[in-house]
A and B are shown apart, each in its own frame.
Chain A
């Protein structure tokens, strides 16, 4: 495959409430930032990820084009998925060999709606959605299946929130406290917070990547896999699609310094750690991860961006990023980023 690297990453200072900006206004500064960082004004391909249901209106990606400045017209596409899957599409497009750069972005304002209820609409509309099972409830089924130690989950949340407080882009959330259940066995703090935000990444191929970044974060492997939709068809305590994507991406081919995982619930961390074969000493979500900032549809892309940032700034040599889609980790994407090829 052609060598492709992340050469720039930018994200908004995420907020836990609607701070006023519309989606294009969230996007414009981060797109400007990656353009400044790379000196690029035009890209060979542009791809984005967003979800109409967050705003309750069709075509959320249409107004986002205003932030890109799509004039003269650009070669562009959109996935109704997390921006991480848009990055995958851009990586595939760069494999063709005729273009050398791509812009990827994702954005979401979950403050505008009740994400917990909206996610119910993602379920099979005939047999599952009518049951009224909401996002936290089906996550709780998975948490019960994995039967994680409460103290271990508390520690994951404590560590993630501390990471978030040290990350200028994530939310400032206190150490977890309280005995109340949201949906047993999940406590309110086990659930990723409501967040508004956006992120942008620039990919470049071969020598172009070397020109644009001192230490490009080379994508040495990237893959994604889906599982059956029905929760009863899966062993919820395990994530076989993450394990398969991780194998295809070559996670186990070298040491992992840091992993950024798309954990929307604390109990997903042990599931993903096991699936990816990450030992206990691998640092997971030093940025705070989704438990400290979860701008839906950008959260997965931010995992790739955060992992890449640590390669770009020299604080890590090899990193793993993970993004997910669908109920209870139905579909998973894994990327390996490396300072060398």
Chain B
């Protein structure tokens, strides 16, 4: 894992459908300045900048890191642009951490963003490589068969997804940055919304958001303010199309979790991890990832959700921030998970703070549930 590294600053924009008041550069700069302010630093204190976002076609700017370098104070510094599909926000944090862990830099600014209002994500996800079949389904149409297979295998009752949709939106009401803050959200409201891809209803899917998230990472001797120490980092990828690949509980996710737990010395994630920020873009992915990440035995994840274990006051809170279901600037969504995990162990999560959180998991996945990025952060120096 290399040298010690800590998150010393977090900055987020308020996530919303359209940020017409700012350019792409204005959006990322807003998050970056807030992260620097949190760390008590300025751009001059930063050694390198790492930028992440999902496909460039979401905004129609090819390799936008070249254009964004100026707004992020990156002139004269190394700039790296990460793209690993939906997991990119998490991967971007890990690439930034790697620069510190490898002893190359003392302080690194990590920024991820998406301005979904510039384009149509379902269109951008549906175009295909020449001479390859297009599924013309976007993300929902792709993932729902996996969800249905999970329901068949586990025998989970049909209302579990609704419970996740309500729980995450209740949490979002406590997060000032969350996009979907729906007063009076309840099961009846979720069940009254149109069916998009059975069993996923409108309020069981993530919104399209504009937004950016930034973090400042520091080596041990450069820590300022309140650190969230990194206890483990891991990435795993597996092929999209492979006979026998289990798309419901991908091996890459299980291997990635095992690796990050080993580094952090975690043997019982449900008991030892105080709060988890997990990439749940469709409601049913909570029970699916509860199993994939070892919080529940196979086929048992939905029972934790049903019993309220993952609620803010449950024994293993998941997505206290409201999660991807409440805010989804795609390229930033993974970094928001990682940043929210850091906020929790720094005790700076505000109204959605999990009391006494000392160890937190940040998780992101992408592609056809084939790319995984995770980290464990803690209040204690490892």
Contacts and interface: CB of A to CB of B under 8 A. Distances in A.
The 3 residue pairs across chains A and B that have the minimum distance between CB atoms: A95-B102, A58-B55, A96-B2
11 contacts: A46-B237, A62-B370, A66-B239, A71-B239, A88-B78, A89-B95, A93-B102, A226-B74, A227-B69, A227-B76, A327-B66
Interface in B70-120: 70, 74-85, 91, 94-95, 98-99, 101-104
A52 B64 CA distance: 12
A101 to B, nearest CB: 16
A65 B85 CA distance: 13
Given A52-B56, A56-B127, A228 B239 contact: no
A89 B240 contact: no
B99 A226 contact: no
A62 B85 contact: yes
Given A89-B98, A226-B75, A81 B81 contact: yes
Contacts of B1: 96, 98
A66 B241 contact: yes
B160 interface: no
Given A59-B55, A89-B80, A89-B98, A330 B237 contact: no
B239 A65 contact: yes
B67 A125 contact: yes
Contacts of B252: 73
A137 interface: no
Nearest to A18: B130
B307 interface: no
Given A63-B240, A74-B236, A89-B98, A126 B84 contact: no
Interface of A: 1, 22-23, 46, 51-53, 55-63, 65-66, 69-81, 85, 88-89, 92-98, 112, 118-119, 121-126, 128-129, 223-230, 233, 241, 244, 325-327, 330-331
Given A22-B131, A92-B102, A325-B66, A75 B236 contact: yes
Contacts of B20: none
B75 A77 contact: no
A72 B75 contact: no
Given A52-B57, A226-B76, A325-B63, A95 B236 contact: no
B298 interface: no
Contacts of A112: 130
A26 B371 CA distance: 22
Contacts of B236: 73-76
B24 interface: yes
Contacts of B70: 228-230, 233
A80 B82 contact: yes
B66 A228 contact: no
Contact of B66 (A58, A85, A95, A331): A331
Contacts of A118: 62
B129 interface: yes
B367 interface: yes
B129 A22 contact: yes
A330 B102 contact: no
Interface string B228-240: 0000001111111
A73 B59 contact: no
B125 interface: yes
A94 B367 CA distance: 26
B61 interface: yes
B76 A122 contact: no
B155 interface: no
A259 to B, nearest CB: 21
Contact of B95 (A23, A51, A77, A121): A77
A95 B80 contact: no
A129 B60 CA distance: 11
Given A58-B125, A71-B238, A96 B78 contact: no
A22 B132 CA distance: 10
Contacts of A66: 239-241
Interface string B19-59: 00001110000000000000000000000010000111101
Contacts of B75: 226-228
Interface centre among A74, A119, A326, A331 (most CB of B within 10 A): A331
Contacts of A70: 237-239
Contacts of B234: 75
Contacts of B264: none
B266 interface: no
A46 to B, nearest CB: 8
Contacts of B2: 95-98
B62 A122 contact: yes
B75 to A, nearest CB: 5
A94 B49 CA distance: 20
A119 B66 CA distance: 11
A122 B67 contact: yes
Contacts of A326: 63, 66, 69
A55 B24 CA distance: 24
B304 to A, nearest CB: 25
Nearest to B79: A226
A95 B129 contact: no
A123 B252 CA distance: 36
Contacts of B83: 52, 61, 78-80
B124 interface: yes
A92 B252 CA distance: 23
B242 interface: yes
B66 A76 contact: no
Contact of B24 (A92, A93, A125): A125
Given A73-B237, A74-B236, A224-B79, 8 more contacts: A58-B127, A77-B91, A79-B81, A125-B67, A225-B78, A226-B77, A228-B70, A325-B66
Contact of A125 (B61, B125, B129, B132): B61
Contacts of B66: 122, 226, 229, 325-327, 330-331
Contacts of A79: 80-83
Contacts of A63: 129, 132, 240
Nearest to B87: A77
B27 to A, nearest CB: 12
